Chains A and B, each alone.
Chain A
Amino acid sequence: MLEFIGLLLLFMVIAAIVAIETRDLLAAVISVTAVGFGVIIAFFYMRAPDVAIVPIVVEVLILIILIRATLRVGLRTFIGNRDFFGMMVTMAMLAVIFLAGIRVFDDFPPFGHPVMQRIADAPTRLYIANGLKETGAANIVTAVLLDYRAYDTLGEATVLFTAIMGAIAVIRKKARKKPTEPEVGEWEE
């Protein structure tokens, strides 16, 4: 069980390196989708079926959008990174961040012991104990999502709507009619 998640994470790291380092953009897009589906399998093995179903749709949508962006006639592929000195500085900083950040996990409980066990008044305990009684939902995740934290879900819908509206506003061809064109109707001044 524990080894399986470890292997899955290792597979995701390898797929991520392939996605970043390969020269072919289409292969990179497909590799990043492999990372996404590794995430989905990890969610299933970590007993999170609600979370695992949503990213299937999300990954396929991201794949379609990225392929739309990469499939172009005469797209120049180029290799090479940014300049050498900047790259050395970047690698040094990444090493420092990794070695310093990994010490955060000393304070964490080992894998398999959730953080909610340590905190006496964690809100999760209330949700698990009273979820069915207070919301009537047998699935505690949906009880949290749609009842206890419904405002978060409302904000999520707002953010998604705004992002999609922004994307449409950015990619549409013609922003508005040119003022030199003769107007057909009188609805626009």
Chain B
Amino acid sequence: MLYALCFLLFMVGLYGVLVKRNLIKIIISLIIMESAVNVFIVMIGYRKNGIAPILNKTMEHQEFIRRTVDPLPQALVLTAIVIGLGVTAMTIAIAMRLYERYGTYDIQEIKRLKG
């Protein structure tokens, strides 16, 4: 059920990418898709009543192994978030350059892109 909601968020972003005409709206949709995927990957590693994967001295190591959430998806999502920032900055830079050249964000008026 929760996975389905996450997938719905992804589909909302995909709808925006496919249907919208404004370049800024398309970039916003890409950001939404990226957020949905990140939340989904962290959700895979969640354990009910789990604890954060940080050791402390008061807890036995065996109990920590039994109760901790999965740290590997968290580490990879951390990488993905930072890469997403770089990709978003790159796309916005290209969009601003297109605006300077064409004076609009409407992708149907940017006709010289057609091959």
Contacts and interface: CB of A to CB of B under 8 A. Distances in A.
A71 to B, nearest CB: 11
Interface residues of A, number: 89
Nearest to B68: A128
Nearest to B91: A167
A112 B29 CA distance: 28
Secondary structure dominating the interface of B: helix
A51 B82 contact: no
Contact of B32 (A19, A76, A129): A19
Given A48-B52, A94-B11, A156 B24 contact: no
A115 B22 contact: no
A94 B86 CA distance: 28
A164 interface: yes
Given A12-B9, A62-B88, A47 B22 contact: no
Nearest to B14: A94
A80 interface: yes
Contact of A156 (B1, B83, B93): B83
A123 B70 CA distance: 10
| Size category, B interface | 35 or more
B24 A28 contact: yes
Given A78-B21, A98-B7, A66 B27 contact: yes
Given A97-B11, A98-B11, A39 B31 contact: no
Interface string A3-36: 0011001101100110110000100110010011
Contacts of B61: 132
Contact of B95 (A1, A69, A75, A78): A69
Interface in A71-113: 72, 75-76, 78, 80-82, 87, 90-91, 94, 97-98, 101-102, 105, 108, 111-113
B104 to A, nearest CB: 6
A48 B87 contact: no
Residue of B14, B56, B83, B86 with most chain A CB atoms under a 10 A cut-off: B86
A139 B83 CA distance: 22
23 contacts: A6-B2, A9-B9, A9-B39, A12-B35, A16-B12, A28-B28, A35-B32, A39-B38, A47-B46, A49-B54, A68-B96, A78-B21, A78-B22, A82-B19, A91-B15, A98-B7, A115-B44, A138-B55, A138-B56, A141-B78, A145-B79, A160-B82, A167-B89
Given A82-B20, A144-B72, A152-B79, 17 more contacts: A5-B2, A9-B2, A25-B24, A55-B81, A62-B31, A65-B89, A66-B24, A66-B28, A114-B69, A115-B70, A128-B64, A129-B65, A141-B53, A141-B71, A149-B76, A170-B94, A171-B93
**6 shortest interchain CB distances as A-B pairs:** A163-B86, A112-B48, A167-B93, A144-B75, A140-B53, A20-B16
